[in-house]
Amino acid sequence: MSESDPKTLVSTDWLERHLKDPDLRILDGSLYLPDAQRDARAEYDNAHIPGARFFDIDDISDNRSDMPHMAPSPEKFISRLRAMGVGDGHQVVVYDGAGLFSAARVWWLFRLMGKTDVAVLDGGMPKWQAENRPTEDLAPMIRDRHMTVQRQAPLVRDVTQVAAASKLGDHEIIDARSPGRFRGDEPEPRKGLRAGHIPGSRNVHYRSLLNDDGTMKDAEALRGIFTRAGVDLDKPAITTCGSGVTAAVLSLALEHLGHRDHALYDGSWAEWGMYGDLKVATGDA
């Protein structure tokens, strides 16, 4: 990525130049699947980008839901972010320890709450550290900042809306999971879920959008990947995955491309795969 856009993606160069900006807030949004055997909070405590706060995706979620890390209420989002010293007028940059994985989910949550001055650090902590940029293990100084949000309902879809879109074919439903999980060849990591995908959906594995260093591919390459997967970029899109995390990588890529008409299916396969009355497709189509 040659140019930084503080509403989608910023480079490590851009972030280091802006580290001392008074209205910059950096968030570590790391989240790992159990098989990664990594402790996101412990890694943050050991080393983080100077001034970064830890954004706990599992905590800043709707804990009343049976689904994993569903979007929180606006009230909870405001409460947690104010406690972290993040509020109105701040430029937010989110990174994670995988490169570009869960940080996109945090970006999407901010967008859902009507906050647009938020970007993901391209390449994340691995690229930052590989370039020998500064880190620290100090807790940041927190000053309370007022925050107002306005939830953007068009950016999220529930199971009823996705079922309608699947039946009508009026949206492109794009699945970020691996090809094996999409086809139904690989078992689901969560117990009790059926294998396969939402009928009519297209498969764009989130990793296919990334370079070897964890940065996002350029716009031309992204457009080609979506098109080859059968995605009509002139249609509105719904992104989905296993639990609503890597779907946000697709949403970030679409936004970076200039495709503004996209929403995320928050329940994703953790919800769809659980209900026997919802149809499941297998194979490549």
- Catalytic (active-site) positions: 241
- Sheet strands (E) in 153-271: 156-157, 172-175, 202-203, 237-240, 262-265
Count CB-CB contacts under 10 A for residue 224.
11
Angle at 179 between CA 178 and CA 180, to 5 degrees: 90
Sign for the CA dihedral angle at 6, 104, 79, 115 comes to positive
Token pair 């594995």 in the structure block, residue: 205
DSSP codes of every residue in 115-179: --SEEEETTHHHHHHHTT---B-PPPP-----------GGGEE-HHHHHHHHHH--SEEEE-S-H
Q: Exposed, middle or buried: residue 35 (CB in 10 Å: 0-12, 13-18, 19+)?
A: exposed
Count CB-CB contacts under 10 A for residue 136.
12
